[in-house]
Amino acid sequence: MGIVERIKETEAENGSDAEEQSYRVSSWSAQSKDCKAQNTTLRASKSGDGFEVTKYGHGRVALIGFPSVGKSTLLTMLTGTNSEAASYEFTTLRELEAVGLRLNKRPPQIYFKKKKTGGISFNTTAPLTHIDEKKLCYQILHEYKIHNAEVLFREDATVDDFIDVIEGNRKYIKCVYVYNKIDVVGIDDVDRLARQPNSIVISCNLKLNLDRLLARMWDEMGLVRVYSKPQGQQPDFDEPFVLSADRGGCTVEDFCNHVHRTLVKDMKYALVWGTSARHYPQNCGLIHRLEDEDVVQIVKKKKREEGGRGRFKTHSNPPTRIADGEKKAPLKQ
* pLDDT value of position 3: 46
**Could you tell me if residue 21 is inside a domain?**
no
**Could you tell me if residue 110 is inside a domain?**
no
- Give the range among 43-47, 246-250, 318-322 with minimum mean pLDDT: 43-47
* CATH code for the domain in which residue 262 is found: 3.10.20.30
Tell me: pLDDT of 272 over 60.
yes
Look at the chain and report how many structural domains it folds into.
1
Kindly report, residue by residue over 138-188, the tens digit of the pLDDT. 888 988 999 999 999 999 998 889 999 999 989 998 999 999 999 999 999
Taking the whole predicted model, whether its pTM rises above 0.75 is answered as no
Report helix, strand and coil shares of the chain as percent, to nearest 5: 35, 20, 50
Q: What would the mean pLDDT of 198-211 be, rounded to a whole number?
A: 93
**Could you tell me if residue 230 is inside a domain?**
yes
**Could you tell me if residue 259 is inside a domain?**
yes
**Could you tell me if residue 238 is inside a domain?**
yes
Q: Would you say the C-alpha torsion 241, 246, 250, 252 has a positive or negative sign? A: negative
Q: Which domain holds residue 246?
A: 223-300
Work out the pLDDT band at 46, boundaries 50, 70, 90: very low
Q: What is the mean pLDDT of the chain?
A: 80
**Could you tell me if residue 260 is inside a domain?**
yes
- Give every CB contact of residue 270 below 8 A, 6+ residues apart in sequence: 252, 283, 284, 285, 288, 296, 297, 298, 299
* pLDDT value of position 273: 96
Work out the pLDDT band at 21, boundaries 50, 70, 90: low
**Could you tell me if residue 258 is inside a domain?**
yes
Work out the pLDDT band at 130, boundaries 50, 70, 90: confident
**Could you tell me if residue 269 is inside a domain?**
yes
